[in-house]
Structure 1
Amino acid sequence: MSKKQPSKWSQSQVASLAIAVVLYASTAHAYLGEKALTWAVSNIVLPLGVIAIVGALGAAKFNPKMASGAMFVAIICIVIAFISGQGNQLIQVMKP
């Protein structure tokens, strides 16, 4: 028989963590992951779109094929930013 390993966490620590998670999760968010999605759009998607547009302008001088690829990336970034900005309305439409 194997020995039972002592837990790293006490019951009071687990209970405190559970209460903290419940209190944090009870803040008013329209849908699960809204805060993470907002962060990702403002810190990843929009800068990527700006870099793609600048890259497309620079690449247009040398290789038009690269410029069209960068413009596709910029359009995709704009679409993702628009859809994530309209997330509250989309969730309301999908609710029964």
Structure 2
Amino acid sequence: MLARDGLKTDARQAFASADRLVTQLPDSSDELPASAYWYVPSFFHGQRAFVLHALGDDKHAARVAREAIAAMPAAWREAEWAGRRARLALLDM
């Protein structure tokens, strides 16, 4: 929301806070209940791509989206919700 509202400095500060929080997440979905399957670093790394895109940094957004997709379990890469990340991954191609 901050990035879409043009508050770039605030958005980048929120990134720093989010980065600290993501380090507290388990590395895989195996450690989570089924209802929280998406609380893994690769999911949130993909969210970063959307913010970077909103900030106008499409090249970085595409790279981050590709990294997030590569880090996800194979089944997730084919999920409907992963399609938005896949489209971001193609921004700089």
More helix by share: 1
Fold shared per TM-score above 0.5: no
TM-score (norm 2): 0.34
Which structure: larger Rg? 1
